[in-house]
C-alpha cells in the first residue's frame, strides 16, 4: 500500500511520484486519500 494522504492539490502529485505516472483517481472522504492504478492493479493509499 502506497501512502498518499495530502491536500487535494498535493494528492495527484504525490501519487504521480509514487506510481511514476499521473493515475490518481478520486479523493476518499475528508482525508484526501487517493487511489492509483499500477499496471491495471488498483492500490489505495493513506499516509
pLDDT digits (tens, 9 = 90+) for 1-47: 444 444 444 444 555 545 444 444 444 443 344 555 444 444 555 44
| Residue 44 domain flag | no
Question: How many angstroms separate the Cα of 18 from the Cα of each of 6, 38, 47?
Answer: 13, 10, 12
Place of cell 479523493: 27
**43: in domain:** no
Q: How far apart are CA 25 and CA 37, in angstroms?
A: 8
- What is the tally of structural domains in the chain? 1
Range of the domain at 27: 1-38
The pTM of the full predicted model, rounded to 2 decimals, is: 0.16
pLDDT at 15: 54
Q: How far apart are CA 29 and CA 40, in angstroms?
A: 23
Which single residue is written with the C-alpha cell 506510481? 19
Q: State residue 2's pLDDT score.
A: 46
Amino acid at each position: 500500500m502506497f501512502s498518499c494522504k495530502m491536500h487535494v492539490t498535493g494528492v495527484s502529485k504525490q501519487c504521480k511520484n509514487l506510481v511514476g505516472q499521473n493515475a490518481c483517481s478520486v479523493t476518499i472522504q475528508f482525508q484526501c486519500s487517493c487511489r492509483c492504478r499500477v499496471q491495471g492493479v488498483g492500490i489505495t493509499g493513506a499516509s
